[in-house]
Amino acid sequence: GPDSGSRLCLDGLGIRRVSAVPSGIEALSLSDNRLRELGPVSACGSLRELNLAGNQLDETAAAPLAELPQLLVLDLSRNLLRGLGPLFPAGAAARGEAWPRLESLDLSANAALAELAPALAARRLCSLVAGGLALTSLRCQRSESLEVLDLRGCCLQEVTGLTLLPALRSLLLDGNALLAGCEDAAAGHPRLETLGLARNATARLDPPRLPMLTALDASENRLTEVPDFSGVPRLNSLSLPENGLTSLGSALSSLCCLTFLDVSRNCITRLEPSMSSALRKVQVLLLAGNDFQQLEDVLGVFGSLDRPCLQHLDLRENPLCLAFYPCPQLLPFWTWEANRFPAEIDLEGSVQLDTSTSSAREMYRSNAVSVCPALRSLDGTLLERAAALQPADAAGPSAASTWPDPEEVLYTTPGQ
C-alpha cells in the first residue's frame, strides 16, 4: 500500500473546496468536510485510495472519479447520491473504460439511493458495502469478481440473482425486511462462506444448501423451529439468539464442525441427546436467558462425549442459576471476557450469599468442570481450573483472562 509519504489526511476540517492536490499522492482522506465538488481531486491520476465519506457530493460531482486509472479503494458513504447512472454509465464499467481497477466501494448511508445493480458492472470490484440505502429489492447482475456484499440496514424485501455472483463469499443482509429469509441464497451458492440474516422479522428459514458456508447469523428474528442444516456441512459458527425456539431437536445433528453456538434468549428447556455429535467440537456455548431448570438438562448431552472441547459456557438468566449472581451488572457481557471469580464479584458488589446458595453455586461450578474439564469460563466468571492453568509468573486471576494460546478457537461475536 501507499507509504506514509504519499498519504494525506484532511478529515473533519470543514473544507468546502479543494484548490490543489500534491503530485504523486496515493492515499487521500477528505471525510467529514463540506465538499460539493472535487476539483483537482478528480484528475489526480496517482490516487489508489480515496475517502470522501460524510460530504455533500451527488452522483454528478463524483462521476469524474470513474476515470482515475489507479483507484483501488473508494468511500462515498454518507453523501447525497440519488442514483448511480452517472457513476456507472451503461457498458463503460464492464468494458473497463470506467473504474478500471476499483476493488472496494462503500456507498453506505446515502439515504436517497434506491439502486445498486449498476455498481456490480465494475469488472474488478471485490467488495461492495451499501448499508442504509432505500433499497426494497435487489436483482443482481453478473459480476465475476465480487466477494463481499454488505447490505445491512436497508429496506430489502427480496434479493434475487445471487448465482450471477459466482465469487461471492460474504453476504450480509442484517436489519432488512426479509420475512422469509433469503430464499435465493438458501437455494444454493457454491462459494458463500458467511451469511448474515439477523433482525429481519424472519419466521421461517428454508433448509440452506450452501456447501462452503462456515458462519450463519439469524439473530433476533421470529424463528420457532430450526431448519435442517444437513446442507451446510462446514458450518462452524451458528447464531440464533432472541428467537422463539423451544427446542433444537435433531436439526443440528448433521453439523460436525460446529465450534460456536449461540441460542441465548430463547425458550429452550433441554439439550437433546441427538445433539451430541454437533456439540463434540463446540468450544463456545451461549444459552443465557432460556428455561433450563437443572444443570443435567444442559450437560447430560456432554456425558456421552469422550473429551468435550467446551471452553466457555453461559447459562445466566436461567432458573438453575438465577440466585448465584446477585450483582449481574458486574459480569462481562461475553463469558469469555471473564477475569474474576464469583467471590471477587460478590465482594465488589458488597453482597454475601447465604450458606445454602453459596454451597449450591460451588457444586454447580464443580459439576460443570467435572463434565467438561476444558472449561475456562462459566457465566462470565473464571473457573478454578483456569486459575491452575495460568502462567507461573502471572499476577492474580485477571491474568488468566488473556489466554495467549496460539491454538485458541477462532470465534467472533456477530457483526465483528
pTM across the whole model:
0.88
* Burial category of 82 from C-beta neighbours within 10 Å (exposed 0-12, middle 13-18, buried 19 and up): middle
Lowest mean pLDDT among 154-158, 248-252, 333-337: 248-252
What's the pLDDT score for residue 383?
93
In a domain, 41, yes or no: yes
Q: Which three cell numbers stand for residue 386?
A: 483456569
Tell me: the pLDDT tens digits for 106-150? Answer: 999 999 999 999 999 999 999 999 999 999 999 999 999 999 999
Mark which of 99, 134, 169 sits at the end of a domain. 134
Q: How many CB atoms lie within 10 A of CB 316?
A: 20
Residue 96 confidence (pLDDT): 63
Helix, strand counts (H, E) of the chain: 7, 18
Query: Quick one: pLDDT at residue 94?
Result: 55
Percentage of the chain surpassing pLDDT 90?
A: 81
Domain termination site, one of 134, 156, 184 = 134
- Closest by Cα among 285, 286, 289, 357 to 317: 289
- 134, 152, 175 — which closes off a domain? 134
Distances (CA, A) of 168 to 97, 152, 179, 210, 352: 24, 16, 23, 12, 54
pLDDT in tens, 214-235: 999 999 999 999 999 999 999 9
Decide if 225 is inside a domain.
Answer: no
Average pLDDT, the chain: 89
**What cell does 211 get?**
456447501
Question: Terminal CA-to-CA distance of the chain, rounded, Å?
Answer: 24
CB-side neighbour CA atoms (13 Å) of 53: 16
What's the pLDDT score for residue 5?
Answer: 57
Whichever domain contains 332, its CATH number is 3.80.10.10
Query: How many other β-carbons are positioned within 10 Å of the β-carbon of residue 15?
Result: 15
pLDDT at 153 over 80: yes
pLDDT at position 12, please?
97
Residues 85-110 have pLDDT tens digits of 999 988 665 566 789 999 999 999 99
Q: What is the pLDDT of residue 304?
A: 85
Q: What is the pLDDT of residues 268-312, one digit of tens each?
A: 999 999 999 999 999 999 999 999 999 999 999 998 888 899 999
CA separation for the pair 364, 361 (Å, rounded): 5
Number of domains in the chain: 2
396 falls within a domain:
no
Is residue 274 a part of any domain in this protein?
A: yes
**Share of residues in the chain with pLDDT > 70 (%):** 89
Q: What is the pLDDT of residues 364-416, one digit of tens each?
A: 999 999 999 999 999 999 997 544 444 333 333 333 333 334 344 444 444 44
Q: What pLDDT score was predicted for residue 183?
A: 72
In a domain, 152, yes or no: no
**Residue 319: pLDDT over 50:** yes
pLDDT tens, position by position, 4-18: 459 999 999 999 999
Residue 4 lies in a domain: yes
Asked, for residue 362, whether it belongs to a domain, the answer is yes
Parent domain of 283: 257-345+356-384
Amino acid at 314: D
For the stretch 250-266, pLDDT in tens is: 889 899 999 999 999 99
Segment among 59-63, 155-159, 249-253, 376-380 with least mean pLDDT = 249-253
Residue 180 confidence (pLDDT): 79
Q: What is the pLDDT of residue 200?
A: 95
pLDDT of residue 90: 80
User: 136 CB contacts (<8 Å, ≥6 apart)?
Assistant: 114, 155, 156, 157
